[in-house]
Amino acid sequence: MSVPDALARMLSCRGPVDAIVAIDSALAGRLVTVEEIAARVRGPRQVGARLALRQADARSQSPIETVARLALMQAGLRVEPGVRIAGVGWVDLVVEGRVVVELDGFAYHSGRAEYREDRRRDRELVRQGYLVLRFTYEDVMRSPSMVVRAVQAVLTAQG
């Protein structure tokens, strides 16, 4: 079975979050295009599968980014994944244009150098007017609703 066929099948057989995590990964790895998947979506669940496919985004670089992005979008928030910010570099998500959400897996944030760089980036983001929220893999995967509530609370407090 080809990659586009497998992903189209996932859209019909799995929950949308699981399918979009896999699709985002395949898109980021340039293994497939949205159009290739869409061409293979058939059957009674076609409408739901096509709606879910519209949420796929190659800019998500990890499953936790996809899960967080989908949860925030489902809550009605505007989310931009994989944004490059001058003086900082790439950030995971920008919500409503003013909250930077960074999603920290232990493997990439466990050393002293990475720890120091994350703090430098946070200071620069705050200097530029962004609010920064960091969440762990466990935060996102165990309770995406907690991530949503935290982001909404910060947005509400800012007015």
In this prediction, residue 49 has a pLDDT band, given cuts at 50, 70 and 90, of confident
Counting residues of the chain whose pLDDT is more than 90, the rounded percentage is: 75
The CA distance from 110 to 146, in Å, is: 23
Domain ranges for the chain: 3-53, 63-158
Please give the average per-residue pLDDT across 132-148, as a whole number.
95
Sequence-distant (6+) residues with CB within 8 A of 104 are 118, 134, 135, 136, 137
pTM greater than the 0.85 cutoff: yes
The CA distance from 54 to 20, in Å, is: 9
Question: Which architecture does CATH list for 63-158?
Answer: 3-Layer(aba) Sandwich (3.40)
Contact status, residue 116 vs residue 76, Cβ threshold 8 Å: no
Please give the average per-residue pLDDT across 112-121, as a whole number.
87
Q: What is the pLDDT of residue 138?
A: 94
54, amino acid identity: R
- Tens digits of residue pLDDT in 66-114: 999 999 999 999 999 999 999 999 999 999 999 999 998 766 656 788 8
